[in-house]
């Protein structure tokens, strides 16, 4: 007896066995193969013979039975010759079943066409790299320079060294790139036979029919996601783009040429379409040439400098206002619960501030160099610093001027006044009764002694101690005494006698105000009689 050919789908037995055509399609993009798809067309005829009487009603019953058999995708389709399996797969309908007209108007027979598709013949999961079952995959990059990025390179070492011992090599801000990366894939719904045992997976589970089981290990969108994930991350070769951008790229990290920050990922998936896409972007700090320091500062800074010269007091004032924008440092990891923000924007901004804070005075010196009459005073007039944690920004405002340098170490503000009381004539005024010309003035042939009055006022940091030693500890008495001693030594060399006639000291520890006053009476034992200014 000849071997009988049978074709079944789940519990449905095709009688008679239809003709079928099968084709294979390699699914690929420009990057290479991403998957495989098989198409299977069954062309057969439903017949009421030999078990049913003719009639449209009976033919429609046969049609409904065939459609019910394919109500579930992924059942086992098996073509056998006797006991030998010629074809085993787990297909799904790629379109509705077609029932074209017959030559007997569906009274006895009805032709049908069934379009099926499946991805593989194998019944195990395996480790084949093409187990991803993707029918479409694309990867795109977009790189653009950030036109409004505050890039600058100021050679602060060219500033004249008016302040003894001060030196700074340079002040640089990065060139910025904005890089975006898109991954998009469409997966295929793939069924396998696990003979009743459920494999490890996140799919929708098994579908059954007369004991024949098909299992979805992963949904189509999950295969699409699996195609996208290995392609995530920044590719330095894309940044360099030899022959086009030609940037200097040597690698990522703290001592390399580029530093990726503000890494953002966004995902989108459609379970009905079986698609999955990932968009990720970076802000790239590209050091380029001319950088005078190594390491990433994790922020950008934009600032303005205003130089104003006032004729009224011959002072030049330099105002510096700036804003620091911090960048976020994220680590997505590879598994759930790996995601961390290793450094927030405001933390990055604060670290950047600690680095550039020492550049504010050199900037003031640099821009005031050709205008100011004197060296810029190292102590700012005002300092303002403002935080916006939600946006990761720090704003600051500093004001400098070229007032003379502080002579009292540690003083915030100082004022020194020198007052000379020069000699005046000594005379007698003798009023005469009835004399209309007024009193008689008679010279005594002598003059008063000159007097030098010195007043020193300064504001010192407020003391934090308590008690006698704590409250008095902030006074600059030692420095002031040295200055007064210098005055008295020089006066002693110029005058025959020097006498201290006033010596007062005042100190307010609450506000740090200090006052010292001293007056010297100066004696002249030789020389001509004082005759005024002529």
Residues 6 or more apart whose Cβ sits within 8 Å of residue 136: 27, 29, 34, 184, 185, 186
Q: Alpha-carbon distance 223 to 203, whole Å? A: 11
pTM for the complete prediction? 0.64
Half-sphere exposure of 290 (CA within 13 A, CB side): 13
Q: Alpha-carbon distance 174 to 151, whole Å? A: 6
Q: Which two tokens stand for residue 357?
A: 């804070």
For the chain, residues classed under CATH 2.40.30 are 5-118
CA angle 196, 197, 202 (to 5 degrees): 115
493: left (phi over 0), alpha (psi -120 to 50) or beta: alpha
Q: Within 10 Å of residue 281's Cβ, how many Cβ atoms?
A: 17
CATH, domain range 5-118: 2.40.30
Q: Within 10 Å of residue 463's Cβ, how many Cβ atoms?
A: 17
Q: The dihedral of CA 380, 381, 387, 393: what is its sign?
A: negative
What is the phi/psi pair of residue 353, to 5°? -60, -40
pLDDT (tens digit, 0 to 9) for every residue of the chain, 534 residues total?
456 889 999 889 998 999 989 998 877 766 666 667 889 999 999 999 888 888 999 999 999 999 999 988 888 899 998 888 888 888 889 999 999 999 999 999 999 999 999 887 654 444 444 456 888 888 999 998 887 777 777 777 644 444 444 445 567 777 788 899 999 999 888 877 655 454 444 455 555 444 455 677 788 899 899 889 999 998 877 877 767 777 766 655 544 467 788 899 999 999 999 999 999 999 888 764 334 344 456 788 889 999 998 777 788 899 999 999 998 888 888 888 888 888 899 998 998 898 888 889 989 988 888 788 788 888 898 999 999 999 999 999 999 988 877 788 888 888 899 999 988 888 888 888 877 777 888 888 888 889 999 999 999 988 888 888 888 888 999 999 999 999 999 999 888 899 999 999 999 999 999 999 999 999 887 655 455 666
What is the phi/psi pair of residue 204, to 5°? -85, -5
């Amino acid at each position: 007896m000849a071997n009988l050919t049978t074709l079944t789908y789940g519990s449905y037995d095709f009688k008679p066995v239809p003709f079928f055509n099968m084709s294979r399609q390699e699914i690929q993009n420009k990057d290479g193969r991403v998957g495989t798809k098989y198409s299977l067309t069954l062309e057969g005829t439903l017949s009421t013979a030999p078990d049913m009487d003719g009639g449209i009603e009976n033919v429609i019953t046969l049609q409904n039975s065939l459609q019910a058999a394919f109500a579930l995708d992924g059942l086992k389709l098996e073509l056998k010759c006797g006991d030998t399996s010629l074809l085993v797969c787990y297909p799904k309908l790629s379109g509705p079943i077609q029932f074209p007209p017959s030559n007997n108007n569906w009274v006895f027979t009805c032709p049908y066409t069934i379009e099926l598709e499946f991805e593989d013949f194998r019944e195990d999961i395996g480790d084949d790299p093409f187990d991803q079952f993707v029918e479409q995959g694309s990867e795109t990059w977009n790189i653009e320079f950030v036109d409004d990025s505050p890039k600058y390179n100021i050679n602060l070492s060219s500033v004249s060294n008016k302040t003894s011992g001060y030196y700074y090599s340079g002040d640089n801000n990065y060139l910025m790139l904005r890089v975006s990366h898109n991954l998009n894939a469409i997966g295929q719904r793939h069924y396998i036979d696990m003979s009743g045992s459920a494999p490890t997976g996140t799919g929708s589970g098994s579908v059954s029919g007369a004991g024949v089981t098909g299992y979805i290990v992963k949904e189509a969108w999950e295969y699409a996601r699996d195609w996208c994930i290995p392609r995530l991350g920044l590719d330095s070769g894309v940044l360099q783009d030899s022959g086009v951008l030609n940037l200097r790229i040597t690698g990522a990290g703290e001592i390399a040429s580029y530093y990726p920050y503000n890494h953002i990922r966004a995902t989108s998936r459609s379970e009905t379409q079986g698609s999955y896409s990932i968009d990720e972007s970076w802000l790239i700090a590209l050091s380029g040439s001319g950088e005078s320091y190594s390491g990433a500062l994790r922020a950008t800074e934009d600032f303005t400098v205003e130089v104003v010269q006032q004729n009224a007091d011959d002072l030049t004032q330099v105002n510096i206002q700036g804003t620091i924008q911090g960048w976020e440092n994220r680590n997505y990891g590879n598994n759930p619960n790996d995601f961390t923000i290793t450094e927030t924007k405001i933390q990055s901004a604060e670290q950047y501030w600690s680095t550039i804070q020492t550049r504010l005075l050199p900037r003031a010196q640099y821009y005031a160099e050709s205008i100011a009459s004197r060296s810029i005073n190292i102590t700012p007039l005002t300092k303002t610093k403002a935080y916006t944690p939600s946006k990761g920004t720090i704003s600051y405002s500093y004001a400098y001027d070229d007032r003379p340098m502080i002579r009292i170490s540690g003083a915030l503000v100082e004022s020194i006044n020198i007052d000379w009381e020069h000699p005046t004539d000594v005379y007698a005024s003798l009023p005469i009764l009835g004399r209309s010309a007024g009193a008689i003035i008679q010279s005594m042939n002598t003059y008063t002694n000159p007097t030098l009055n010195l007043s020193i006022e300064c504001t010192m940091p407020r003391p934090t101690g308590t008690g006698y030693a704590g409250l008095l500890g902030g006074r600059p008495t030692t420095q002031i005494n040295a200055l007064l001693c210098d005055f008295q030594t020089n006066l002693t060399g110029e005058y025959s006698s020097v006498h201290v006639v006033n010596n007062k000291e005042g100190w307010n520890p609450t506000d740090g105000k200090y006052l010292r006053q001293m007056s010297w009476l100066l004696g002249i034992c030789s020389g001509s009689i004082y005759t005024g200014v002529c």
